[in-house]
Amino acid sequence: MTASDVLFVVFGVIAAGCALYGVLTRFLLRSIVALGAFLTAVAGEFYLLAADFVAMVQIFVYVGGIVVLMLFALMLSTSGERQPLAGSDRRGFSSLLAYALGGMLVWASIGAKLPAVPGGLPSSVPYLGRALLGEQLFAFEFLGVILLAAVVAALSLVRSERL
């Protein structure tokens, strides 16, 4: 058991625990904070999977951006309301579905015949840079277009009725 294995387990437990807590808690704020912790733990997993740039992007965009955005939405929409929400309902049916789906995924993962992990690359950043501005340039540019569209859409949704 190497250090990264230990860390993998630690991060995995944190991620799963936070995800579960975030889904189950009746306090909206705690749910969002749990999401933040979950995302950070997943970023840790990314780092362990030799995707350090993706890990940083995850923290940059998710924790620094999306979680903050959610907190904003929470505070702007329910700033006066601090009562716990209605908890989860339809638990039986939903957990059946979730167990079925998750069980199937886990079963498929265990059964999958995966190749051995190849030797590590020196650093992912140069390869990623070349991929983003080379082979995957279209995806990269397209992402920019999507983000722009999202910004426009969000603005037009929330602007007040007067033009």
Partner 1 sequence: MSTLLTLGEGFLLGVVAFSLVGVITTVFVLLERKVSARIQMRVGPMRTGPHGLLQTVADIVKLLMKEDVRPEYADPVAFRLGPMLTAVPAVLSFVVIPFGAPLVMRDLDVGVVYFLAVPGMTVVGLLLAGWASYDNYSFLGGLRASAQFISYEIPRTLAVVTVVMLAGSLNTVDLLKAQQTVPYILLLPLSFVIYMITTMAEVNRVPFDIPEAESELVAGYHTEYSGFRWSLFFMAEYGALYAAAAFATLLFLGGGNGPVLPAVVWFVGKSLVVVFLFMWVRWTLPRFRADQLMRLAWKVFLPASLVNLVLAALVMMAVGR
Partner 2 sequence: MGGLLLAIPLVPLAVFVVLLVGGAYLRLTGAAGPRGVAGAAGAAASPGAVAAEPSATGGQVAVVDQRVVALRAAAGWLSVAGVAAALAFGVVALVAFRGGAEVALSATWFRVGSLEVPFSLRMDGLQGLMVIVVGGVSVLVHLFSVGYMHGDRDVVLYFAELSLFSAAMLLLVLADDFFVLYMAWELVGASSYLLISHYFERPAAAAAGKKAFLTTRIGDVGLLLGIFALVRITGSLDFQTVFAHATEPGLPGAWRVAVPLLIFMGAVGKSAQLPLHVWLPDAMEGPTPVSALIHAATMVAAGVYLVARTYPIFVPAPEALTVVGWIGALTALTAATVGLTQRDIKKVLAYSTISQLGFMVTALGAGVPAAAMFQLFTHAWFKALLFLAAGSVIHATGRQVVDELGGLRRRMPITAVTFAAGALALAGIPPFAGFWSKEEILGALAGGHPVFLGMLLVATFFTAFYIFRLLFVVFLGPEVEAEGDVAAGAPVRESGPVMWVPLVVLALAALGMGFWGAGFLGYPLQKSLGLDAGQAPVAGPWWVTVVAVTLGLAGIVLAWLAYARRPARAGAAAETVAERPGRVRPGRPAFDARLEDSLGWTYRLVDHAYYVDALYTRFLVAPFVGMARFLARTVDAGLIDGIVNGVAWLVTGAGGGVRRLQTGQVRDYVAAVTVGVIVVAALVIGALG
Partner 3 sequence: MTPVLILSGILFAIGVFGVLTRRNAITMLVSVEIMMNAANLNMVAFSRLYHPELMTGQVLAIFGIGIAASEAAVGLALILTIYRRYGSTDVDRADLLKG
Helices and strands counted in the chain (H then E): 7, 0
Interactions with partner 3, residue window 98-127 (CB under 8 A): 98-99, 101-103, 105-106, 108-110, 112, 114-115, 117-118, 121, 124, 127
Q: Which of 8, 21, 52, 136 binds partner 1 (CB under 8 A)?
A: 52
- 127 in contact with partner 1 (CB under 8 A): no
φ/ψ region of 90 (left if φ > 0, alpha if ψ in -120 to 50, else beta) reads left
Contact between 108 and partner 2 per CB under 8 A: yes
- Both tokens of 106, joined, read 């886990």
Please identify, using beta-carbon distances, which residue of 80 and 115 lies nearer to partner 1: 80
Contact assessment for residue 52 and residue 37, using Cβ atoms and an 8 Å cutoff: no
Q: Can residue 30 be called a binding residue for partner 3 (CB under 8 A)? A: no
